[in-house]
Amino acid sequence: MKTTTNQQIYQFIKANGPVGPSKIAYQIPISTQMVHRHLKSLLLSGHIKKMGHPPKVLYIAVESVDQYEFPSLPIDDQKYIEENYLTVKPNGEILNGLAGFQWWALKTKQHKNFRALAHEYTTNHASFKNKYRNEFELIEATFKIKETFGECFLDHLFYQEFYSLPKFGKTKAGQMVSLGKSGQDINSIQQLAEMSKGSILRIIKHYKIDGVIFTPHSIPRKIAFLKEFKRFLSLSIPCTELTKIFADNIPVAQKSLSKLSERIENAGRTIFTREENKPFKRILVIDDAVGSGATMNAIAEKLKRQSNTSFVCGFAVTGSLKGFEVIKEI
């Protein structure tokens, strides 16, 4: 930090953040214009971060993990973590790669065995990531849904990635789905669409899909994940949606239901086909996340029984690991 004023502002933010420019100007005191100049300098140096969007922008100090001297990692482990790890702190701050993994290790008090922890993450994550991949480079989950339901109407079910993994929690894709839905982060949705588009196009070509349907959201949000996902995919094939209607207009999210029977009832009694769904004979249904698969199976049932659809394939950006073989610690 170049100046005493910079140091004063940083220390004030560190002690009192998140704070806005006017509060800083009142405390120091200097003009708001000068505060903005110092804030810009602190942002560029990486000492602080912005929260929120104009006109309401606050600033927080960037926490450092330098208080613990982490050992260096083998190049392969470090590279893998940089490419595949992402976490979100309780204040909403996104940490990518090694910095995020170090923060998580400190938070979970596993930092003293950091090299072994990093290698375990790299090895196990790669194993999960690769073991269930098919020729489309997707996770094959068809067996899972066929074992879950007595009558399965889906012909195939694929995940782009698992939502979370044992011990290490949400995958990078799982975090990005959460950021896109609950965090309303449009950049995460765009990145997920870019990551998924190649696989979706391969499914469409291989199975001769003639229509794509996006599942309806239960909870209305300003930024609707699948609406934006559809926009970023920019598919040339006809795309449509389903209708979701709740009794007494009270939405109940699938993830809030713990019993499979409740999820089946929720999906079966709230999702309805539209007239524009009927011309499609071979359909790809796209969702952001699949847990039990109840929604996907209910959609496939209604399409086959009400719209004369002959083939339904499901695709989820992320899906539950439950039902898959759990890889033992290596």
Predicted confidence at residue 315, as pLDDT, reads: 98
What pLDDT, in 10s, does the model give residues 86-99?
A: 999 887 788 999 99
Q: What is the mean pLDDT of residues 289-313?
A: 90
Q: What is the mean pLDDT of residues 22-29?
A: 86
Q: Band of the pLDDT at 149, cuts 50, 70, 90?
A: confident
Q: Band of the pLDDT at 159, cuts 50, 70, 90?
A: very high
Q: What is the mean pLDDT of residues 63-68?
A: 61
Q: What is the mean pLDDT of residues 135-162?
A: 92
Q: What is the mean pLDDT of residues 145-162?
A: 92
Predicted confidence at residue 270, as pLDDT, reads: 58
Of the listed ranges 8-22, 82-96, 222-236, 263-277, the one predicted with least confidence:
263-277
Helix (H) or strand (E) holding 319: strand 311-319
Q: Band of the pLDDT at 117, cuts 50, 70, 90?
A: very high
What's the CA angle centered on 189, arms 267 and 256, to 5 degrees? 30
Predicted confidence at residue 265, as pLDDT, reads: 55
Between 183 and 311, name the one with better pLDDT: 311
The percentage of the chain sitting over the pLDDT mark of 70, rounded to a whole number, equals: 86
What pLDDT, in 10s, does the model give residues 235-276?
A: 999 998 777 554 444 444 545 545 555 555 555 455 666 677
Bridge partners (DSSP) of residue 96 are: 86
Q: Band of the pLDDT at 136, cuts 50, 70, 90?
A: confident
Q: Band of the pLDDT at 118, cuts 50, 70, 90?
A: very high
Query: Does residue 61 have a pLDDT over 60?
Result: yes
φ, ψ for residue 33 (rounded to 5)?
-60, -45
Q: What is the mean pLDDT of residues 61-89?
A: 87
Predicted confidence at residue 1, as pLDDT, reads: 44
Q: Band of the pLDDT at 221, cuts 50, 70, 90?
A: confident
Check: CB of residue 297 under 8 Å from CB of residue 215: no
Tell me the whole-structure pTM to 2 decimals.
0.78
Tokens of 329: 């610690």
Check: CB of residue 329 under 8 Å from CB of residue 168: no
Strand, helix or coil at 236? coil
Residue 197 neighbours by CB under 8 Å, 6+ apart: 233
Identify the CA nearest to 295 among candidates 215, 214, 182. Answer: 215
